[in-house]
Structures are given as C-alpha cells and as structure tokens.
Amino acid sequence: MKYSKWIIPRGAPDISPALADAGYTPLLAAMLAQRGFTEPKAADEFINGGIELLLPPESMADMSRAAERVRAAIERGETVAVYGDYDVDGITSACLVASYLRQRGLKCRPYIPDRLEEGYGLNTAALDTIKASGATLVITVDCGITAVQEAEHAKALGLDLIITDHHECGSLSLPDALAVVDPKRHDCPYPNKGLAGVGVAFKLLCAVDGDADALLERYADLVAAGTVADVMPLTGENRYIVRRGLEQMASRPRPGVEALLSECGGGAKRLTATTVGFTIAPRINAAGRLGNAVLAARLLMSSTLEEASPLARELCRMNRERQELEHGIWTEAHELLKKNPPDGPIVLYSEGWHQGVIGIAASRLSEEFHLPCIMICVDGEMGKGSCRSYGGFNLFDALSACSDCLEGFGGHALAAGLTIRRDRIDAFRAKLADYYRQCPCPELPVLDCELHIEDPALLSMDCVRSLELLEPYGAGNPQPVLCLTDALLDRVTPIGGGNHLKLRLVKGGVQFECVMFGMRAENLGASEGSQVDAAFYPQINEFHGRRSVQLLMVDLRPADTRGECEGILSGKLPCAWECADIYPERRDFVRVWRWLERAGGHVECDLASGWGPDGLSAAKTAVCLRAMAEEYLAGLESSGGRLSISALKREGKANLEASPVMKELRRRRDEYRERRRKHD
C-alpha cells in the first residue's frame, strides 16, 4: 500500500440532472460536478474554453517596458541573445523567443549554458561571450530572478538585460535590469502565478506582437511542452495553451517533434499530456543532463525531417545512457541508506556521481524513504547539489534558513539546486536536520478517490471514453482516481518478467480487467481470493484491434469494510449492485452460528481488521448477524468500531429469510439483476 490514508466518498455519485440533460455521460457528469461544474455553461467553458482565457500580458509587472525594448530591437535590427536553461522549460523557452525574433528578421541565437561546466542561470563569462558576438540585448528565459551580480556585470558591459522567469525570488533584492518579468514578484498583480518559464516568455511575445492567437498557431507546441514538463497547473490559460499545443503536435507537428515521436514509437498512440511528460520531455531533458542541451534546441528548431531525424536518434541514445547512469547512482545511494537508515533529510555526496542525473535519483530516494533528499556532486573543493522535497516540506524556505552554509541556491518549494563548499557539507546537514525537526513530520501521501463506483454502468466504454474531454491532465486538473471497495481479487498474473501485474477483480458479478505497473506479486499485500479495495484510472485499452475498458491501478489494499459493516449493523444497506455480493445463503448463517459457538457464545471484534468466520466476507457476516439479531438469535452492541456479539437462546424456530434485512436485501438484489438483464 502506497498511501497512509484513502479518502473515499460514500454514497452514490452526484450526477447533475442539468449535465445529464445536456448530453454528458453519467460518469463525466459526476466528475464535472465533483470538480465544481454543475451547470452546462460552466462545464462547457472548462472543457472548450478558448482564447478568451488568456490574460492580458500587460498586467504583469515590467511587461510593458520589456515589450517596448524588444519592439525597439526589432525596428533597429539589433542582435539579440536569448539566454535559457538546460531543462525542457528552459530549452523550449529559448527556442520560442529565438524563433520568433528570427521570424521578425533579427539575428538571434539561443544561448543555453552547459549544465556541467556553467551550471544553472546567468554567468558573467557567458555575458562576456554574448557581448563579443555583437549582441546589444539579452533576454533571459526560465532563469535570472536571482542574478543580481550578473545584472550588474551586464550593465557594465553595456548590455541591456530583460529577465523573464517564473522561479521564487524570496526576500532577495531584484536584479537591476531594464525589466524583470516574473509573476512571482511580490509586487506583480498578474493572477496566474502558475506560468512556466515558457509561459512567461510567451506572454512577452504576446505583449510585443499583439496577436496571441497567431502566436499560438505557430508556437503552442513549445509552450505546451515546457508547461507540462515543468508540472505547472493545467487550469485556466495554461489548460487552453496546452490543449492547443497537443492539437498542434498531433495534427501538424514541427519536424523535431515528429522525428522524436517516430524514433521512440510515441507517434502511434493518442497524444496526451502524459505523452509529453513521459515520452518527449525525458528525451529533451537527457541532452541537458548530459551536458549537450544545444542538441535538443537544434532538434526543436529543425526546419526539415531530414535534419531532425538524426538528432532525434541521438537524443534517444542519450536518454538510454541517462537511465543507466541514474540507476547506478540510485543503487549506490540506496545501499548506503539501507546500512544507515536516515531519520531526517537525506544529504549524500560523492565525487563519482554524474551531476546531470542526481536529481532523478534524489526523487526516487525521497519517495522511497519519505524524506527530503539532497544529492551533491563534489569536484575538488566545491559541490553542486540537486534537492527534492517530500510531504510538503518547503525546500526553498529550508535552504534560505541554511543559506550561511551555502555558496548559492535557487528553485521551488519542491525542487531546488545548490552550490556548497565540500568542507561545509557536514554543517549544512546538521543545520538542515535541526530545521526539519522544527517542522511538522511529513506523512505518507493521502489518496483522494474522487468517485466511489456503485454502479458498473459508470465504467461502460462510452462513459470511460467521455473522460477524455477532461484532458489535458496535470497539476490542478489530475486524472480522475476512481475506487471499487470490497471487490474479489479473482486473479493475479505476473507480466513483464514479474515486474508488473495483470489483475482481475469481480464485483457484483461483473469482471474488471486491470493492470498494475511497477508492482511484484509478493509486494501486492493481497492474494487471490481476498477482498480488496482498488483505486484506479479507467482507460480504453486497444489490443489486436479490440477495444475494452481496463483499470490502471493506482493502489490496492485489503478491503476496509468497517464503514460498510457499521452501516449494515445499524440498518443502512449498501447500493443494489453491492447487495448481490453480500446476500447470504443458508450455509453462511450456519458458519456464523458455529463460529459463535466455538467462541463460547460470545465474541469481541474490531471492525477495522479481519473478523468473522474464515472465508466469509465481513459485509456478509454483518448481514447474517443483523438478521440473527432481528430474529432474536444474537445480541449486538457496537461502539467506536468494536462489536460485541452474544448468542441468544430463543423459543421456537427462527425464519432468517423473513427478517427485515433479508427482505430488503433480496429486493435490492433482484432489482439489480433485472436492471442488468435489461441492459444485457
């Protein structure tokens, strides 16, 4: 089980009549209502919202000044340098602005620093090189908000500097640049604080050009790729931009994107934000991680497929190399931590680690050990580190509190980078541990299941397919997590060399085929024949031309039937679908009675854990006990999740089938069977 707690809504999903009348499927209507869209107009705006969702760029601090300077550069035909970053957001930002300025007739080249030699952000040596190339204006994208000294150096060189960024600036002074455009500036009134670096760069071009729709027609794919890769909220204008970008990638991809999708086999599948996040982004990132981000920029700015194809092949090769390096680092760090289990933030360093991939290893370790993780590559007396958070721990604030141990740092609450002297690492580790102890202890994440499936019709092909209208999924608009409770785990089949599982669940006589990636059978926590709760993403699976509904498992746990059992014992029966599973036969009553007799006629039970006769579900046991209580064969007392059961002696023969609970259960079961018969 991956989560400390599951939040499962009880009762039937709220299906808005207005949405149902407007033609939305029951499942989509329930999901829209769950996310606050109960009226057709609001739902339509969310699903189909257009260009009107874009906010005016001029409302961003310093934007008008920045746009005026860029327009002047265009009019005068100046040479402009676009200074980016080596991740997907920075590379797409640099390609976006450089492509636009070239299209406007300027001599412009993207400058992307070497991750291994130059590190993140502006540096004075790069500014010297840019000045020597004849540039008069430097535009930073996805970096620069903390470049105070570098801005002074640019001014001394006679370079005009426009900073566009989206990172936190904290309490630090802003650089003294011609314009500093960052929605996270404390004095910036721009409502959308969730723009990616490429989103801020796009807003600059909108302010310069004035035709946002035409710009999206040409560049929405670049803006979408950077926004998805940087895990920005996919709501409001971000959602619209990403939707436009995905449409562009699918229908008329730029040569670099087409070549990359073809090389990695992604072009044959429906293109979604997940495709960008897990297929396109890692390969673009691989170039930057291994110190050749310029290769990815060349790919995205290629004008022909012939030019792009060999670049795409090289990126895929580099991604495989990155995976091998990352696995080696993770293995080494994992062995160290197994010998000395951490009880505070993980701070590890080594001279042998590759700086470009330690961030991925840090992410894996933080998830496994449920702690923030900082991994540092040391070269001589200096080290460069990648930091990943866990459990809501704010890394940026933590690094700020430990800044006297650091040479520099920057980033977000959840991910950051730092530079540190080798001889300060131990002091940093101790100070970070002290800071961490003063913060609330992080917990395993909570799994929020948006809908509790109480009718198999909600998982029909049409219903599941209709959820595609909620895409693109991402931060702020997650893929819906649905839940089945107290289902039979009918079959467990290892696949992929035992690293993944195919499962079959049965509920109310309906079978569900499932797949669970990254899970081995011995770690599942449940076995064939047991009752389980299952959290999943519903999806349409295509195999040999056959389409079917498949449940992509998020997590699985032994069934938690306390709430259901308490309801049954107090007089509340579940929905008609579940009644088919918990209707007891005569032999079930016999098993419960003999279970009571073997215990001497009295049993104390904890409803939160396994209870009742072996092999009989808790819910069915609860029905038997309630019927026996109604016929004066058993006395029940329930309080605080505990149940006290006493066998009673009764005069005369009991008719358990005629008890009120069995009558109502039979009515609901038969109603469900008739509904299924008509549907079939």
Please, are residues 387 and 372 in contact by the beta-carbon 8 Å criterion? yes
Give pLDDT, residue 535.
97
Q: How confident is the model at residue 564 (pLDDT cuts 50, 70, 90)?
A: confident
Tell whether the model's pLDDT for residue 680 goes beyond 70. no
Whether the predicted pLDDT of 267 surpasses 70 = no
CATH of domain 352-367+380-437: 3.10.310.30
> What confidence tier does 337 reach under pLDDT thresholds 50, 70, 90?
very high
Separation between Cα atoms, residue 647 and residue 634, nearest integer Å: 5
For residue range 95-108, list pLDDT tens digits in order.
Answer: 999 999 999 999 99
pLDDT of residue 643: 93
Task: Out of 3.40.50.360, 2.40.50.460, 3.40.30.10, 3.10.20.520, select the CATH number for domain 5-23+449-558.
Answer: 2.40.50.460
Q: What is the pTM of this model?
A: 0.83
5's CB contacts (< 8 A; 6+ apart) are 444, 446, 447
Q: Which range among 154-163, 184-193, 553-562 shows the weakest confidence by mean pLDDT?
A: 553-562
pLDDT reading at 51 higher than 70: yes
| Domain edges within the chain | 5-23+449-558, 61-243, 352-367+380-437, 562-679
Q: What is the mean pLDDT of the chain?
A: 92
Given CATH 3.40.190.150, say whether it is the number of domain 61-243: no
Q: What SS3 string covers 207-264?
A: HHHCCHHHHHHHHHHHHHHHHHHCCCCCCHHHHHHHHHHHHHHHHCCCHHHHHHHHHH
What is the pLDDT, as a whole number, of residue 443? 65
Alpha carbon of 292 to those of 230, 314, 511: distances in Å? 19, 11, 50
Residue 441: the pLDDT is 63
Over residues 370-414, the pLDDT tens digits come to: 899 999 999 999 999 999 998 888 999 999 999 999 998 887 788
What is the β-pairing status of strands 500-507 and 482-495?
antiparallel
- Give the 3-state secondary structure of residue 334: helix
CA separation for the pair 669, 205 (Å, rounded): 62
Identify the pLDDT of residue 653: 86
